[in-house]
Amino acid sequence: QSVLTQPPSVSAAPGQKVTISCSGSSSNIGNNYVSWYQQLPGTAPKLLIYENNKRPSGIPDRFSGSKSGTSATLGITGLQTGDEADYYCGTWDSSLSAHVFGTGTKVTVL
Amino acid sequence: QLQLQESGPGLVKPSETLSLTCTVSGGSISSSSYYWGWVRQPPGKGLEWIGSIYYSGTTYYNPSLKSRVTISVDTSKKQFSLKLNSVTAADTAVYYCARHAHDPNFDYWGQGTLVTVSS
């Protein structure tokens, strides 16, 4: 059972925007950087956002991250069918002394 | 371009030891900036971090698995390995090896390998 809670699913039409929340606590999100990962069906996770809001080279600026207090948010604008995937947040939990991932959110493009 | 590749048996019997190796190519495993970790994903479920190792051999493990896990590194072969003992059906999962920085973002991943625990 993950200490980071995400909505099970979100959906929107092509071209629209979705946001995915990741709720934690002071022992994880509140005092550590957050990363976001995209997992396309049948593939390994891919890093989308690191250090709360930075994008690795090659990740389009349609993807954005933010953090406030003990929650983080991933935003996807200009939604495309290729964005249909599972998305996970991740961070370090100082109380558990463990890397932790969120429960995952499935994005559906209507 | 850094690449990671998992290898090992796809089927393990209950109570036995699961052993996997990750081979790193296209870059150094001895970088002082990175750790090398294992993450697993049971079918249809989320991601779970198992443990990580530094090139010097320093390890740290998920407390929930610590009693059953050993991770080691062989820098000469550019490989790091996972051993998980006393496995049960609950250990059936896709196992990924991955690189991560001190700031815990996992930036390179292997393709993953499915390990099934069954008699």
- HEC states along B5-28? EEECCCEECCCCCEEEEEEEECCC
- Report the residue from A44, A51, A90 with minimal CB separation from B109: A44
Question: In this complex, is the C-beta atom of B95 within 8 Å of any C-beta atom belonging to chain A?
Answer: no
pLDDT for position B32:
86
* Amino acid identity for residue A76 in this structure: I
CB contact under 8 A, A44 and B37: no
Amino acid at B26: G
pLDDT at B102: 78
pLDDT exceeds cutoff 90 at A104: yes
Secondary structure of residue B111 in the 3-state scheme: coil
> Is-contact B2 B99, C-beta < 8 A?
yes
Separation CA A35–CA A72 (nearest Å): 9
Asked if B42 is an interface residue toward chain A (Cβ–Cβ < 8 A), one would say: no
Q: What is the average pLDDT across A20-47?
A: 97
What Rg do the C-alpha atoms of chain B give, in angstroms? 13
pLDDT tens for the 119 residues of chain B, in order = 999 999 999 999 999 999 999 999 999 999 889 999 999 999 999 999 999 999 999 999 999 999 999 999 999 999 999 999 999 999 999 999 999 987 779 999 999 999 999 99
Q: How many residues does chain B have?
A: 119
CA distances, A106 to each of A10, B44, B45, B110 (Å): 6, 12, 12, 22
- pLDDT given at position B117: 98
Q: What is the pLDDT of residue B66?
A: 96
pLDDT at B31: 87
Residue A2: per-residue pLDDT? 84
In this structure, what DSSP letter does residue A52 have? T
A32·B52 Cβ contact <8 A: no
Detail the DSSP E strand segments found in A13-62.
Answer: 18-23, 35-39, 46-49
